[in-house]
Amino acid sequence: MAVRSEGISPHSGGTVPDSHRVPGPCVSRLEREPIIAPVRRPFVSLWLPVVAWAAVIFALSSVPGLESGLSWDFALRKVAHVTEYAILGGLLVRALGRPLPAVAAGVAYAASDEFHQHFVRGRHGNVIDVAIDAVGVLIGVALTRRLRA
């Protein structure tokens, strides 16, 4: 009568530990996978920053006039557009996990933001601003993906 050691496969003649065996086709999925599931980030921690930043953009778009009075005010506003949408693009790719949906969502939000500006006194929506915002989203998505790699 052979004595069986703990954790040693009886199918190998008692020489191969269970941890080194390849599971056969009759082994259940639960026996192959670890009991502890991988940690997943909660929905709120992914989407709260996106919603908060979109609210910041909406609030800035609601201000009737953002003129600083500087001679380079136009360029400053366009750089602000790129920056705020780059941040949004980074947050969106973090939340969605894929670049194409993040870009699509960012550009859709940019278009809705320009539409919103039609209803703000002293502001107007501009298709060129949507394009500038789209460049910002692309930059944010690219930078976030590069930093993750």
pLDDT tens series, the chain, 149 aa = 555 555 555 555 666 666 666 655 555 555 555 545 545 668 889 999 999 999 999 999 888 876 666 777 778 888 999 999 999 999 999 999 999 999 999 999 999 999 998 888 888 888 999 999 999 999 999 999 999 87
Nearest to 133 by CA among 63, 53, 65: 53
Q: Which residues contact 120 (CB under 8 A, 6 or more apart)?
A: 61, 62, 63, 64
The domain limits of the chain are 43-148
**What crossing angle do the helices spanning 99-117 and 73-96 adopt, rounded to 10°?**
140
Contacts of 10 (CB under 8 A, 6+ apart): 4
With CA atoms as reference, report the closest residue to 132 among 87, 83, 99.
83
Q: Which residues of 29-58 are buried (b: 16+ CB within 10 A; e: fewer)?
A: eeeeeeeeeeeeeeeeebeebbeebbeebe
In angstroms and rounded to an integer, the radius of gyration of the C-alpha atoms of the chain is 27
Compute φ and ψ for 67, nearest 5 degrees.
-70, 130
pLDDT at 2: 54
Task: Give strand ranges (E) for the chain.
Answer: none
